[in-house]
Structure 1
Amino acid sequence: MRKKEVSYSKKTIVRLIWTGILVAGVIILTMGAVCFAGRLSMKVKVGLLVFDCILFVVYFAEVYRDMYRPWCELEKIVHERKDRKTETLADANIAQRDLIKEIQEIISSLENITIRQKNAEILMKVAEINNLQDQINPHFLYNTLEVIRGEALINGDKKVAEMTEALANYFRYNISRKETFVYLKDELKNICNYFKIQQHRFGDRISFEIVYHGIAEKDVQNCYIPKLILQPIVENSIYHGLEMKIGGGVIKIHISSADDKLMLTIADDGLGMTQEDLDKLNRDVDAGKTDENAAGSHNGVALQNIKRRLKLYWGKEAYMIATSTLNYGTEMHLMLPLLFTKEDYMKS
């Protein structure tokens, strides 16, 4: 015999509530009649009391049938399936199957959010390790660099003093700051420190610019972006775009926003890539390849790390893609939500 389908809708609950009110009203009226109607015979009074008892039992039997028992059955089914998500729901009725599926979707969504947050935290640590392989005492490092800077100033060597200061600031940002998300202005400041260090190696061969399009710097400087999401791209632009180029080269960071989105483009006028190499770069970054060959090439683990973090945080709402023309340069385009307040997943 087929089980009766039970609806867990608001309609069922409302029906039971109104039925309860009606039953309570009838019981109150009959009890009033028994207590205050003196002309009623004893048999009539007993009959009314029996009627009230039957009505009370019938109502709670309906509550048991339509609410309590289905809930107990549902609880049993959910417990049986919580570790067996792929098991069929053939033995549950339609309403139970729908509710179980909704519960499973909620649980799955919560699990995915937790996993994404944990993976993002792990990738953040990987990014820090990739940028700083040495395990050093930061206070000792900062004090030593300050001593070197002081000696350089005493000896009138401003170049060494400036490079030492830039290096200390760069290490402070990468080592001491533990936030997962930082202000855009702080990430750009870190890139400037990094570029100062590189300029002491390359001299006037390389230059760096930040260009705002359609917005003022103050409009986006305090928006949040993932830490260490731009510096690795600038580093790739130097070592794979400009280092082997004959003559000078320029790296520009183009910043714009539209429809609550932040667009960042890191462009260099270096060697560029063939269409075949460009397609391979985008495929490797999408696929998350981390073999040694990929790590040592333009499509290294740093780019894969950035792409994976964007995907983990925002899914399809964010992306990173490269464009390039051989002998003209390469551009790395990033789009992510324009956020001025930290969400829960950004507070780790």
Structure 2
Amino acid sequence: MMSKLQTNRSYFYLLLADRIFVVLLFLFLFFGLLRTRTGIFVVVLFFLYQAVMLAVFCVRFLGPLREIEKISEMIAQPERHMADLEGGRPIHRLIQYVKQSVENEYTSQMLASQAEIHALQSQINPHFLYNTLDTIRSMAIIRDSEDIAQMAESLSMLFRYSISRPGEMATLKDELDNVKNYLVIQGYRFPGKFKYQQRIEDEELLQYKLPVLTIQPVIENAIHHGLETKVGGGQVSVYAYSTQERFIIRIADNGMGMTEQQMDSLRERLSKGRFIYEQDRDLKKRGNTGIALPNVNQRIKFYYGDDYGIKVYSTAGIGTIVEIILPAAADSKGGES
């Protein structure tokens, strides 16, 4: 490119010198030869020569200007020049690159705008839900419907906990309070269907911090898959204790349990650790709700590493035990508060 510019510059200087020489020659000829036929012929040749040189000048210098103008038009309106852009010339590839960069920038701005809209919607919708539930609760209290008021309050607190704190850490006490709100609702759905027991080895463990929504999905899984279809009453319990290396939350139910085939399928999914998003999405599309345990497992591994997660023990017709294995209190991300 630089050599081409230098060549054009040299050509321009030569052309300028030629023009000066020609003008001087013209003045000499014009006054000396114009009176003769030969002189007139020379003057005509002079003008023809000037016309040819002007044409050469236009081709050499105005041509690139037109090319630049065409390139500018291609960049501004690439859709009108698709046939030209299909070539392999470097300038065409540059135009395609510029066009793609503009489209990418536009797409990024659109995605950012959509994200802002979704963020606003996620703020508006929960508040509308909370206000509606609070209104239902107030109406129930006025009409002396204590059960409806309690159910509306538990549902409101359940939603506040799950929606307002995505991705955060919570204390064990917060997690257990959330479980109790969930069980209030399930208790009204299935009156007398199951009992709940809770035991914490040390009160200080209530301040242990763990990912939000670690325990409630496991409790929900136990009720939905283990106790809902069980004939007669059932029981689900939570026991939390600590060792030197681990903090363990054991959730047990005496529900339907799982067959060996079901356990093999679950173990396979749990062994995939952090890489089950696509599989879970497919299961949701097919209406399969058995995704709580793998999801809890992968979130724990995301926070703490592959040495932690959940273990499942189950026997068909007897029940299921799920152990949530976390780092010892001093090693957890949240530590003790």
> TM-score, normalization: structure 2?
0.57
Aligned match of 1:165 in 127, 150, 153?
153
For 1:187 and 1:319, how far apart are their aligned partners in 2?
17
Q: Please say if residues 232 and 302 of structure 1, whose CA atoms lie closer than 8 Å, have aligned partners that are also in contact.
A: yes
Q: Please say if residues 313 and 322 of structure 2, whose CA atoms lie closer than 8 Å, have aligned partners that are also in contact.
A: yes
* 1:231 equivalenced with 2:216 (yes/no): yes
Query: What's 2:296 paired with?
Result: 306
Q: Please say if residues 319 and 334 of structure 1, whose CA atoms lie closer than 8 Å, have aligned partners that are also in contact.
A: yes
Aligned match of 2:138 in 138, 146, 150?
150
Residue type matched to 2:168 in 1? T
CA 1:309–1:194: 2 relative to 1, 3 Å: same
SS at match of 1:203: coil
Q: Please say if residues 237 and 251 of structure 1, whose CA atoms lie closer than 8 Å, have aligned partners that are also in contact.
A: yes
Query: What's 1:189 paired with?
Result: 177
Query: What's 1:207 paired with?
Result: 195
Q: Please say if residues 209 and 253 of structure 1, whose CA atoms lie closer than 8 Å, have aligned partners that are also in contact.
A: yes
CA 1:138–1:290: 2 relative to 1, 3 Å: closer
Query: What's 2:264 paired with?
Result: 279
CA 1:144–1:331: 2 relative to 1, 3 Å: same
Q: Which of 1 and 2 has higher RCO (CA within 8 Å, sep 6+)?
A: 1
Query: What's 1:251 paired with?
Result: 236
Shift of 1:337: 1.0
For 2:235 and 2:269, how far apart are their aligned partners in 1?
26
Shift of 1:135: 8.7
Q: Please say if residues 196 and 235 of structure 2, whose CA atoms lie closer than 8 Å, have aligned partners that are also in contact.
A: yes
Query: What's 2:205 paired with?
Result: 220
For 1:302 and 1:136, how far apart are their aligned partners in 2?
27
SS at match of 2:231: coil
CA 1:150–1:286: 2 relative to 1, 3 Å: same
Shift of 1:234: 0.9
Structure exhibiting the larger radius of gyration computed from Cα positions = 2
Q: Please say if residues 264 and 335 of structure 1, whose CA atoms lie closer than 8 Å, have aligned partners that are also in contact.
A: yes
Please list, as runs of the form range in 1=range in 2, the aligned pairs for 1:1-348 lying within 5 A after superposition: 137-178=125-166, 180-212=168-200, 215-216=201-202, 218-287=203-272, 288=276, 289-290=279-280, 292-293=282-283, 296-297=287-288, 300-339=290-329, 343=333
Structure with higher helix content: 2
Gaps of 5+ in 2: 1-121
Q: Please say if residues 182 and 227 of structure 1, whose CA atoms lie closer than 8 Å, have aligned partners that are also in contact.
A: yes
For 1:292 and 1:210, how far apart are their aligned partners in 2?
35
Residue type matched to 1:234 in 2? I
Provide the identity percentage.
37
Residue type matched to 2:196 in 1? F
Deviations 1:77-132 (A, max 9, x none): xxxxxxxxxxxxxxxxxxxxxxxxxxxxxxxxxxxxxxxxxxxxxxxxxxxxxxxx
Shift of 1:260: 4.2
Q: How many residues align?
A: 208
